[in-house]
Amino acid sequence: MHAKVNDGKYSLWTFQRLSLCIILVELCRTHEDISTQDKDVELGGNVTLSCTPTKHYDTVQVTWQEKTDQGIENMAVYNKTGGNVLPTYKHRIRFVAPGLNDTAITFWNVSIQDNGCYYCIFNTYPLGPISGNPCLSVYDHLQTFLHYQIFDGHLNASCIATGFPRPNISWVASGAEKNEKEVTNPNGTVSVISSILVNVSSLKQQPICRVTHRREETDLKIPEAERGYLDPVVLTVLVLIIVVILVIIAVCCWRRHRKKRSGF
């Protein structure tokens, strides 16, 4: 009887350890059994996501799902009798590798909504479901504009950056008053508009609008010539130099003219 109780404890402990092992194996398995690749795609492009089991399984059905803010949504199913893409996805995706050994779907004319992660689930027999989790990173190339004007000794510069993911704007300009706003465009891209207002005479260097987009930095500079031209001191000096040159030319011409006349 004593031995039986011990046996019971022992087997319970073994059972717990075994369950833990199984859970751990299951957790690891879902990440290792399906080989996938994350993809980058430009807005409006075509891209294929594929899932390939690392070894052969007897698959009954393959299901594709999308991870959305609302939860997980079924997109498409494929089994021995054929494939079916759910109505909301019909115009967006298509099976390119219809089969149960591996699976691939193509997204046509990718939109910002397609940005995110997906599940491909292989319903295998007798193991049950195993899944892969490929992700799609949609981007739109960066477009930038720099507008500026000067009035009352102040520089008013606006830097506009449009792209996806949202571009970041920072300014390299001392003593500038900054103002930023953003707009989401109909195609899902984001335009960031950043403006500075700065007293021209307090500028120590050429102001730079620095745009960061997808780990790339772009600098937009207000031309030095423009700034110099607009600086009242430089402007005055330039005008003085021109006047002096004109005076020298006039004097030279007048002298030559006089020499020629006295020569006759």
Ligand X SMILES: *[C@@H]1O[C@H](CO)[C@@H](O)[C@H](O)[C@H]1NC(C)=O
Interacting residues toward ligand X by CB under 6 A: 43-46, 56, 61, 77, 79, 81, 84, 99, 101, 108-109, 111, 140, 143, 147, 152-153, 156, 158, 162, 168, 185, 187, 189, 195, 197, 199, 201-202, 212-213
For the bound state, the minimum distance from the C-beta of residue 59 to ligand X, rounded and expressed in Å, comes to 9
For the bound state, the minimum distance from the C-beta of residue 84 to ligand X, rounded and expressed in Å, comes to 3
Neighbours of 105 (CB within 10 A): 27
Nearer to ligand X, 86 or 135 (CB): 86
For the bound state, the minimum distance from the C-beta of residue 36 to ligand X, rounded and expressed in Å, comes to 18
**Contact assessment for residue 6 and residue 69, using Cβ atoms and an 8 Å cutoff:** no
Cα end-to-end span (Å), the chain: 147
Paired strand residues for 157: 148, 196
For the bound state, the minimum distance from the C-beta of residue 108 to ligand X, rounded and expressed in Å, comes to 6
Nearer to ligand X, 117 or 146 (CB): 146
Nearer to ligand X, 43 or 176 (CB): 43
- Which DSSP category does 87 fall into? G
Q: What burial class does residue 169 get, using C-beta atoms within 10 Å of its C-beta: 0-12 exposed, 13-18 middle, 19+ buried? A: buried
For the bound state, the minimum distance from the C-beta of residue 238 to ligand X, rounded and expressed in Å, comes to 21
Nearer to ligand X, 26 or 58 (CB): 58
Each residue of 112-145: b (16+ CB within 10 Å) or e? bebbeebbbbbbbeeeeebbbbbebbbbbebebe
Nearer to ligand X, 109 or 236 (CB): 109
